[in-house]
Amino acid sequence: MKTFRNILSWIVPILVALVIVLLVRTYLFEVVGVLGDSMEPNLANKERMMVIKPLTLKRNSVIVFDAYGEDPTAKPNTNYVKRVIGMPGDTVASKNGHLFINGKQVSQSYISASERAAGTGNWTLKSLAQQRNWSYKGSTVPQGKYFVLGDHRSVSEDSRYWGYVDAKKVMGVVKIPFWQSTATYRNNINSMAK
């Protein structure tokens, strides 16, 4: 009986700790790593970041989402990190290095001039939908969806290629801890959302 109690005295705290970790990862936050160059210079390949789960998504939020079923080339359990550009109901267009949301030019100070121009290209949602043969060919972001772009636009496989991200696929919003990276890059990730 004493041996059984000793075993329980070790097992119960371990089980409680595992349940707490599982609940935190499921409902509060998780630490994940960036794979690839699509968010440079703001997020580097293999950089660690926190994904905060209960936050509200805003335009320019950097998000992590399950890419399987969104990008036809993504395998199961593949997560992407991208920046929300278009919210549900928004029109989005790119022309001569300028990004327009609902007809108004928006700042892209978080990326270089070359990525704004040559890297982003010239398009509207409607022209992308027709060119890429998306099932939804409207001129606005559909309800329950987001239009996302990588910050390293010239190499990023993003909504310009495969369409919209379903809100149900979003894991959470990326936040860079104060001790990581530089103040400029933290600001480009943490403070850009409007």
What CA–CA distance (Å, rounded) separates 140 from 110? 24
**DSSP letter, residue 28:** T
**Of 84, 59, 152, nearest in space to 114 by CA:** 152
Active-site entry in 38, 94, 159, 181: 38
38 belongs to the catalytic site: yes
- Helix locations, 71-152, DSSP H: 113-114, 125-132
**Catalytic-residue membership of 104:** no
Instruction: Please pick, among 2, 58, 61, 82, the residue that the annotation labels catalytic.
Output: 82
- Kindly tell me the burial class for residue 5, based on how many C-beta atoms sit within 10 Å of its own C-beta (0-12, 13-18, 19 or more): exposed
The letter for the amino acid at 129 is A
Give the integer Cα–Cα distance in Å for 39 and 1. 58
Cα-based distances in Å from 17 to 13, 20, 23, 24, 31: 6, 5, 10, 11, 17
Q: Return the active site residues.
A: 38, 82
